[in-house]
Amino acid sequence: MTDSRRILVTAALPYANGLAHMGHLVEYIQTDIWVRFQRMLGNDCLFVCASDAHGTPIMIRARKDGIPAEEIIEHYHRRFQEDFAAFHIRFDNFGSTHSSENRELVNLIYGRLQSGGHLQSRTIRQAYDEKEGMFLPDRFVRGTCPRCGATDQYGDSCESCGATYAPSELVDPISVLSGTRPVERESEHLFFRLSEFEDELRSWASGGALQDSVRKKLDEWFETGLQDWDISRDAPYFGFEIPDLPGKYFYVWLDAPVGYMASLLNLARRRDDIDFESYWTPDSDAELYHFIGKDIVYFHALFWPGVLQAAGFRVPSAVFAHGFLTVNGEKMSKSRGTFITAETYLQHLEPQCLRYYYASKLGPGVEDIDLNLDDFVLKVNADLVGKVVNIASRCAGFITRLADGHMSAALPEPALHDQFVAGAVQVAESYETRHFSRAMRQIMALADRANQYIDQHKPWLMAKEDGRETEVQAVCTQGLNAFRALVIMLKPVLPGLARAAERFLGENEWRWTDIEQPLLGRRIEKFKPLLQRVDPKAVAAMLEASRATMENTRPSTPSTEELMDEITIDEFRRLELRVARVSKAETVDGADKLLRLTLDLGDGQRQVLAGIRSAYQPESLADRLVVVVANLEPRKMRFGTSEGMILAAGPGGEDIFLLSPDSGAVPGMRVS
């Protein structure tokens, strides 16, 4: 193919400090589908990624665990590779930002920024933990909000009133590392003069490189004015030391995007057919796309193109941002078992099912998507098994039995095949524009057409009549070709299914254009189920396993709270603890921390006002069993009387965990 495009695609770098989970997979699956589609078209499309190895969190963890940071990042690097491979995410290279190539490129870029006069040294004041001997990022300082007085807030903004401020403005600030009060210290930092590139960035941003909503977001930043970007950090830090500034390191967000280049360089050094330079020169004919989450638009749509320009490289052709993942309509939650790691999923479910489900929900925009597990089961079973695979399943038997496995030499209804060929053009358009949900809808509409066709011709009736074998064979050949076209269209999403179908039909490595020519006269293999239905029990088991794993691995917050004075058993018995069922849970107007619960204690209802709204949605509580202090003196509150207290553990905020009895307990039972 002479007019094939040269494309370099990246997915954001996973941080090497935790396992890949369902949220990560949205992005890698989205990107992988797009890349596989490009390859099926015959384009020269490279897909690189890397683990993101630097920064404060990894440094601190290494310190705490007393092991080298290299060991941590190496561990997660390997786990990422295993997980991604299992989900059929096929990178051309998966590198690390802690690599010689990255160091080389970061230094090269640094040199160019320096000689181009794009850097400036400035003294800043920052919180410093004297006990730990290190400067503290804003998130590592907590204290009381200077505006609303909420306690235990981060150093950059208040979650309660939304105020933003500097850590030094906090009332009673403490370091989360040592618990001591930080002091202010001065330090020399290097700044990248981003504002010099405002004009270039503006025209790049309005030139089609960004989605509309992302562009609007950038406009907003342009309005407020671009500020210079602090690219250095003080030791101790895990990263690359700045060559001529001992004790200073490059900020992780400087070297992370360079990691995209480094990963390609690492690959190019092993492969003769890849010319690294040609991808990065300002006049490069290659396309460069970054798939990212909407939370890191800032780094990819401002800093990164700014740095690239300053260093004399090309800018990205486009940045594609996607939304966040919720599970069952809520943020992933460890306590609800919806914080599902890739590994836990793999132990219970088939990876391609997730690929299909995500594909059926992903569009070109930045909207969040929801992994609704009930919907997941229904959709995968109905679409993939019931519609698509079923077509092969219901046709293959006849071909095998009545025609010795041979398909007919011609299609009885070429017009139907033409519909599929025409449909494939639409589907391709949808893939290209990352409108995967539309692609899946278009494909399923075609699958419906195929099933209708088979129903109209009823091969199972003809098969009972003598002498109509040829007709049955023809109808089923038509059906199998419909199936073949559908699976080719689904191949970017379901590569494993496609490979199995290729073997079943005796073919190899389908490309997109293979849809056009029907498969005729071919001897097919005996049909074997190509994909199993999803068992809802497996989903339930996965949630249960997630919950269990998270409880085990959840870092037990070192309980610094002292135990209270001893009490006697009689004193304890004065507590009347009862099992209760939540019969109603609702929010309370005017109170953003409370939920009004109506509890069934077996012998009657009572109302309890509980301060758990930050951790629980009212709907999630209905019918659940809790433990209540039943003989607590009723308390009048502004919003009504609270007649008891429900038991929960945790420090507060999102970390509140209701206690619940094992199954078998019924409302009214005494807890002792």
- Report residue 38 as tokens: 């490009």
- Rounded least distance, CB 391 to RNA, Å: 8
Euclidean distance between CA atoms 586 and 509, whole angstroms: 56
* Binding flag, residue 451, RNA (CB under 7 A): yes
> Which residue in the block uniquely carries the two structure tokens 């749509």?
301
Helix ranges (H only) for 491-606 are 495-504, 536-553, 569-573
Show the site string, 163-182: x = touches RNA by CB under 7 A, - = not: xx------------------
Q: How far is the CB of 504 from RNA (least distance, A)?
A: 11
Q: Is 374 in the site for RNA (CB under 7 A)?
A: yes
x/- track of binding to RNA for residues 491-520 (CB under 7 A): ------------------------------
Backbone angles phi, psi at 537, to 5 degrees: -65, -35
- Residue 467, number of CB atoms within 10 A of its CB: 7
Output the 3-class SS for 91-136: CCEEEECCCHHHHHHHHHHHHHHHHCCCEEEEEEEEEEECCCCEEC
Nearer to RNA, 94 or 299 (CB): 299
- At its nearest, how many Å lie between RNA and the CB of residue 301? 11
Which DSSP category does 509 fall into? S
Contact status: 302 vs RNA (CB under 7 A)? yes
Kindly tell me which residue out of 23, 116, 312, 386 binds RNA, with binding defined by CB under 7 A: 386
> For residues 344 and 360, which CB has a smaller minimum distance to RNA in the complex?
360
Binds RNA by CB under 7 A, chosen from 419, 437, 583, 607:
437
Q: Check residue 658 for interaction with RNA (CB under 7 A).
A: no
Work out the end-to-end distance of the chain between its first and last CA atoms, rounded to an integer number of angstroms. 76
Spatial distance between the Cα atoms of 111 and 247, rounded to a whole number of angstroms: 18
For residues 452, 453, 459 and 460, what is the CA-based torsion angle, rounded to 10 degrees? 0
- C-alpha distances (whole Å) from 459 to each of 294, 324, 432, 456, 530 are 51, 47, 37, 9, 22
Q: Is the peptide bond before 414 cis (omega within 30 degrees of 0)?
A: no
Q: Is 432 in the site for RNA (CB under 7 A)?
A: no
CA distance 494 to 354: 10
Q: For residues 91 and 36, give the distance between their C-alpha atoms in angstroms, rounded to a whole number.
A: 10
Q: How far is the CB of 223 from RNA (least distance, A)?
A: 8
Instruction: Based on the shown chain and the rule CB under 7 A, indicate whether residue 654 belongs to the binding site for RNA.
Output: no
Neighbour tally for 589: CB within 10 Å = 9
* Position among 144, 178, 284, 390 found at the interface with RNA (CB under 7 A): 390
Q: Is 24 in the site for RNA (CB under 7 A)?
A: no
Residue type, 29: I
Q: Is 470 in the site for RNA (CB under 7 A)?
A: no
116, 146, 243, 363: which one binds RNA (CB under 7 A): 363
Among 41-49, 361-369, 573-581, 655-663, the segment contacting RNA (CB under 7 A): 361-369
Determine the Cα–Cα distance for residues 250 and 255; give it in Å rounded to an integer.
7
- Binding of residue 81 to RNA (CB under 7 A): no
Q: Which stretch binds RNA (CB under 7 A): 21-29, 43-51, 95-103, 442-450?
A: 442-450
Closer by beta carbon to RNA, 122 or else 216: 216
Residue 178 falls in which region: left (phi positive, over 0), alpha (psi -120 to 50) or beta: alpha
CB of residue 404 to RNA, shortest distance in Å: 17
d(C-alpha 302, C-alpha 215), whole Å = 11
Nearer to RNA, 101 or 383 (CB): 383
> Could you say which residues in the range 623-652 bind RNA, by CB under 7 A?
none
Which C-beta is closer to RNA: that of 38 or that of 352?
352
- DSSP 8-state symbol, 407: P
C-beta of 470 vs 587, nearer to RNA = 587
Reported as half-sphere exposure (CB side, CA atoms, 13 A), residue 620 has a value of 18
Q: Give the separation between CA 33 and CA 493, rounded to whole angstroms.
A: 5
Interface region with RNA, contact rule CB under 7 A, candidates 29-37, 419-427, 436-444, 641-649: 436-444
Q: Which stretch binds RNA (CB under 7 A): 10-18, 20-28, 403-411, 443-451?
A: 443-451
Q: Which of 30, 31, 381, 549 binds RNA (CB under 7 A)?
A: 381
Q: Where are the beta strands (DSSP E) in 287-378?
A: 287-293, 318-322, 325-327, 369-371
Provide the mask over 320-359, with x wherever binding to RNA is found by CB under 7 A and - wherever it is not. ---xx-x--x-x----------------------------
Of the residues 156, 169, 234, 471, which one makes contact with RNA according to CB under 7 A: 156
User: Considering only residues 32, 101, 255, 383, which one is a binding residue for RNA as defined by CB under 7 A?
Assistant: 383
Q: Considering only the stretches 12-20, 71-79, 438-446, 507-515, report the one whose residues sit in contact with RNA under the rule CB under 7 A.
A: 438-446
Interface segment toward RNA; rule CB under 7 A; list 61-69, 124-132, 158-166, 656-664: 158-166
3-state secondary structure of 24: helix
Tokens of 250: 């490059």
Half-sphere exposure of 249 (CA within 13 A, CB side): 17
Q: What share of the chain is helix, strand, coil (3-state, %, to 5)?
A: 45, 20, 35
Among 4, 100, 213, 605, binds RNA (CB under 7 A): 213
Number of residues that bind RNA (CB under 7 A): 74
Shortest Cβ distance from residue 73 to RNA (Å)? 22
The reply to whether 190 sits near RNA by the rule CB under 7 A is: no
Q: Which of 294, 314, 334, 468 binds RNA (CB under 7 A)?
A: 294
- Whose tokens are 């507060």? That residue is 652
* Candidates 12-20, 373-381, 551-559, 603-611; binding stretch for RNA (CB under 7 A): 373-381
Determine the interface stretch with RNA among 85-93, 174-182, 272-280, 450-458 (rule: CB under 7 A): 450-458
Among positions 529, 602, 634, 653, the unique one binding RNA when judged by CB under 7 A? 529
The type of residue at 480 is: L
Name the strand (E) or helix (H) holding 609: strand 605-610
Please, which residue, 253 or 280, has the CB nearer to RNA?
A: 253
User: Hey, what's the torsion of the CAs at 172, 173, 179, 185, to 10 degrees?
Assistant: -130
One character per residue 221-250, x = contact with RNA (rule: CB under 7 A): x--xxxx-xx--------------------
C-beta of 45 vs 388, nearer to RNA: 388
CB of 460 to RNA, least distance (A): 3
- Region binding RNA by CB under 7 A among candidate stretches 49-57, 335-343, 405-413, 446-454: 446-454
DSSP 8-state class, residue 194: G
